[in-house]
Amino acid sequence: MENSQEMHFYESRVRNVLLFVGSLIFLLLGVLVSGVGFNEGDYVFGVLGIFISVIFILCLFLVARKFGNTNSYPYLTLTEEYLIINVTAMDQFQIKWDDIEAFDVYKMNNNKFIGIILNDEDKYSKLMSNKMRKLYQMNTKMNLPLFNIVWGQIKRQDREQLLEELDYRTFGEQQSVEN
């Protein structure tokens, strides 16, 4: 495969639709619990239903926002010089291929991740906003890589190609130089 080619990998639309439908179902369940609780005079269930509804309204809003942006920007971009991870529309991380030491595939809570092990994590943590640095400190405390690719966020048909490209762009030239 051509190393100078720029490749884009987008989030799975199916996963976002399922999250949207699940959030909508739990929102309606919260409204139902609230309505039944207040009609029966059980104010604890009524308040609990309102609490559930508020939580899932927020989830629904976040999923709807993400669902609307799914194809407007790629989750991952592979260029000749960088691996670009778009965590959100506002937070984009550009990692030089030379700075990647290895990849670590691991599972946590039934989610599969590709951990990106860097030669110098401090170099990239200094580039983060304060909010993102605080979030990523949790990874460090749990002995996880600073950056991760969420396997479920990649469309199923693109996963094999992504693995091949990550391997080629990170280690392809080093292997040909040594041989």
Q: Are 72 and 8 in contact (CB under 8 A)?
A: no
Q: Please give the helix or strand (H or E) that residue 118 lies within, else none.
A: strand 111-118
Q: Are 115 and 106 in contact (CB under 8 A)?
A: yes
Q: CA nearest 103: which of 178, 9, 45, 166? A: 166
Lookup: tokens for 17: 């639709």
pLDDT score of 1: 40
Report the greatest alpha carbon distance in the chain.
Answer: 78
Domain range annotation of the chain:
9-69, 89-178
Q: What is the pTM of this model?
A: 0.68
Q: CA nearest 152: which of 105, 118, 119? A: 105
**3 state SS for 125-143:** HCCCCHHHHHHHHHHHHCC
Pairing assessment for the beta strands 76-78 and 82-86 based on DSSP bridges:
antiparallel
Q: Are 136 and 125 in contact (CB under 8 A)?
A: yes
Phi, psi of 87 (to 5 degrees): -65, -50
Low-confidence stretches of the chain (pLDDT beneath 50): 1-3, 174-179
